[in-house]
Amino acid sequence: MDTMNATEKPWLAPESQRVVAEAEARLLAGDAEGIEAEVLRLVDAHERHMDRESVGLNAGTNVMNPRAAALMARSLGNRPSLGHPGDKYEMGMEFAEQIEVVAEGLVRRLFGAPYAEIRVGSGALANLYSFMAICKAGDRIMAFPPELGGHVTHHRAGVAGLYGIETHPVPHDAATMNVDLDRLRSEAKRLRPKIITAAGSLCLFPYPVREMRAIADEVGAYLLYDAAHMGGIIAGGRFQAPLAEGAQIMTMSTYKAFGGPPSGIILTTEAKLAERLDAIAYPGMTANFDLGKTAALALSTLDLLEHGRAYASRCIESARALGEALAAEGLPVQRVAGRGPTESHHLAIAAARLGGGQRASKHLAHANLLLCGIGLPLPPVAGDLNGIRIGTQEVTRWGMLPTDMPAIARLVARVWIEGEDPERIRPDVVAFRRGFQSLHFMRGA
C-alpha cells in the first residue's frame, strides 16, 4: 500500500504530536489486510477497556441500548435523506422517512415540547443553529463563563465566536455556584444581548430559569437553556423543566445523560423559531443526515419514556452518595451550604492540591478510573483546569447503586489521598468492575 510521511501539525501539543506520529508509523505501514486487522483489534480493545474494565465517571459519556446501537449499522444510514417527509429530494425514502416522524414525535412527547429539531449532528451544532436562528454576526449574547461550567460553544473559541457573536459572561455567585440575578439584570440592561444562556457543562443545582426569563423579557432577549449534560435527567423530571419554566429554546446532546446516539436536539416553544431552525437544517446546514442515528434516537427516547424517572433518580442518589463518600475520604468535594454537594448527577472537586484537573484525571486514568477536568469559581491552577467533574450516568446504567459508591471513593482515594501507584490499583478496579457487566434502565435489558 502507498504510504506518505506523517502529517506535521505543529499547532498541536507536543504529547498529541507524539501520539499521532507513533500511531501513523505503527498502524499505517502495512497492507490493507494488516490495517483492517489493526482497526478491528483497536475497536475490541476500546470496548473491553471502556465497557468491561473501567469505572466510567466522565460526565460526558454513557452507554447506549445495544438494540439502538445496532440500528446505526443498518443500511438506512447509508442513504441520503434530503427534504421533509412526503417531499424527499431523492426517491425511495417512503419507509425511512416515517422513522424520522416517529423520532421527532417521541422527543416532543418526552420533553412536552411543541417543536423539536432532530436533524442536528451534535450539541455544539444545536447551539450554532440556535444562534443562527436568533442572531446575526456582531450581535451580543450572555453565557455562563468557564468557571461556572459554561461550554466552549457559547464562547469565542466555539461556534459563537466562529459565527461572529460577541459573548459576555452571565454574572454568578461563587458561593452558591449559581446565577447572580441582580448583576445579571444590570448587565443585561447595559449590553442588550440577543440571547441569555443558562446551564452548560457542569450543573450541580437547578438554575433560576423563571427569573432569568423575566430579565430576558426586559431587554428583548431569548433565553436558551443548554441541556447538553442534563437531557436525560430533565427527561426524568428530576432536575428542572426549562421549557415549562420559561426558556424559549433548549439544546442538548443525545449521548451523555440522555444515553442515545452521538447527535443533538433543539426544542422550542415558539413556532417562528421552529420555522427558522427548520430552514437552517434544510436546505441550509444539515441537508442529509444519518437516519441510522435517527432510528437509534427513537429507541433511546423510548427508553427514557419508560425508565427515565427511575434512571434519573438513581443517577442523583448515586451522585450524592459518591460526593459524601469522596468527602469522607478527604477529597475536596465542592458543596453549597444547606444543599450539599449536588442535586443532579454531577459532582465537582477542587483540583489545586491535586496539581490540576486534567493532570489528576490523567494520573487516575492509569487505574482505569475515568473522569476529567472542569473550570470552577476558585483560584486558578497554572497551566491546568482548577476543578474535576464527575458524572454518575454511566455507572448507573451499568447497575451500580448508591451503596456501591463508597467502594469507588475508596479506589479514588488510594490514588489521590494515599499516593498509591495507579497501575497497581488497576487490577482492583477491574475486579470491582466485573460485578457490573449488564445494562439497566433500558427496554429489553
Both 171 and 97 in a single domain? yes
What's the rounded Cα separation, in Å, for the pair 37 and 211?
56
Mean per-residue pLDDT pooled into runs of 10, the chain (445 residues)? 66 92 91 95 98 97 97 93 94 96 98 97 97 98 94 96 98 94 98 97 97 98 98 97 98 98 97 97 89 97 98 98 98 95 97 95 98 95 96 98 98 97 98 98 90
Identify whether 208 is part of a domain: yes
How many domains, in total, are found in the chain?
2
Both 354 and 421 in a single domain? yes
Query: What is the predicted pLDDT for the residue at 5?
Result: 58
End-to-end CA distance of the chain: 44
Identify whether 378 is part of a domain: yes
Both 236 and 360 in a single domain? no
Both 271 and 167 in a single domain? yes
What cell numbers appear for 65 in the block? Answer: 441500548
Both 209 and 328 in a single domain? no
Which of 271, 301, 331 delimits the end of a domain? 301
Identify whether 40 is part of a domain: no
* DSSP 8-state symbol, 89: S
Which of 247, 275, 301 delimits the end of a domain? 301
Both 99 and 231 in a single domain? yes
Both 233 and 218 in a single domain? yes
Write out the residue range of the structural domain in which residue 351 sits: 308-433
Q: How many CB atoms lie within 10 A of CB 336?
A: 16
**Cell match 452518595: residue?**
321
What is the dihedral angle through the alpha carbons of 390, 403, 49, 342, rounded to the nearest 10 degrees?
-10
CATH code where residue 233 lies: 3.40.640.10
Identify whether 122 is part of a domain: yes
Identify whether 41 is part of a domain: no
Which among 196, 263, 274 has a CA at the least distance from the CA of 228?
A: 263
What's the rounded Cα separation, in Å, for the pair 204 and 194?
26
Contact 170, 179 (CB under 8 A): yes
Query: What is the predicted pLDDT for the residue at 1?
Result: 52
- Outline where DSSP puts E strands in 264-336: 264-268
CATH code where residue 382 lies: 3.90.1150.10
Both 239 and 103 in a single domain? yes
Identify whether 9 is part of a domain: no
Both 283 and 235 in a single domain? yes
